[in-house]
Amino acid sequence: MGWTTEADLIDGQRIDASMMRDLLDEPRTVVLLAESDRLVGCCELSSRTDPTVAYFGMFAVSPDCQALGIGDSILAEAERAAVDLWKVSAMEMVTLHPRAELIAWYERRGFLPTGRTFEFPYGDERYGRPRRDDLRLVQLAKSLPSTTASSSTVS
């Protein structure tokens, strides 16, 4: 359900409780939640490898809440938080290469392909069960201003 689904590419879970605990134990990592009367979206934000770059991942918006601007709000808050928390100058993320519509969505928000690709973690069902044998992750990146304008806070 929803235009951003990966159901045709990957079956099964994408993260489990153990992975989430490990993620939250990482220094310089936060998970942002968007709530209305319930959880409607989330993302992971971290800056672990390069202190000048934030990683944006685990991005999801409930399918029945898509096309309402929630994704834009989460991304804007992630950018603001990354600059405020860690004074980073760029944000990177990865997505599955066949997701042309999603990649275009990110490009409209200033992300550009870096040319770097990564192998999908085949054989590790914690990341799902791929339905194709040619999946790879493409990296996108965006420069961030040294200070971001205040946006509506996602809480």
SS (H, E, C) the chain: CCCCCCCCCEECCCCCHHHHHHHHHCCCEEEEEEECCCEEEEEEEECCCCCCEEEEEEEEECHHHCCCCHHHHHHHHHHHHHHHHHCCCEEEEEEECCCHHHHHHHHHCCCEEEEEEEECCCCCHHHCEECCCCCEEEEEEEECCCCCCCCCCCC
Q: Number of structural domains, the chain?
A: 1
- pLDDT tens for each residue of the chain, 155 residues long: 556 667 678 887 777 888 889 988 988 999 999 998 999 999 999 998 899 999 999 999 998 888 889 999 999 999 999 999 999 999 999 999 988 999 999 999 999 999 999 999 898 887 888 898 999 999 999 999 875 444 444 43
What span, in angstroms and rounded, lies between the C-alpha atoms of 1 and 9?
A: 13
Predicted confidence at residue 147, as pLDDT, reads 59
Q: Which residue has the tokens 């399918």?
A: 63
Q: Dihedral through CA 60, CA 24, CA 28, CA 50, nearest 10?
A: -70
Q: 75 lies in which domain range? A: 10-143
Within a domain: residue 148? no
pTM of the model: 0.85
Predicted confidence at residue 1, as pLDDT, reads 54
Within a domain: residue 34? yes
Q: Which residue has the tokens 């392909």?
A: 113
Residue 109 sits in a domain whose CATH number is 3.40.630.30
The structure tokens listed for 41 are 């979206």
Beta bridge partners of 29: 46
Within a domain: residue 97? yes
Predicted confidence at residue 48, as pLDDT, reads 84
Within a domain: residue 41? yes
Predicted confidence at residue 94, as pLDDT, reads 95
Within a domain: residue 136? yes
Predicted confidence at residue 29, as pLDDT, reads 93
Predicted confidence at residue 9, as pLDDT, reads 86
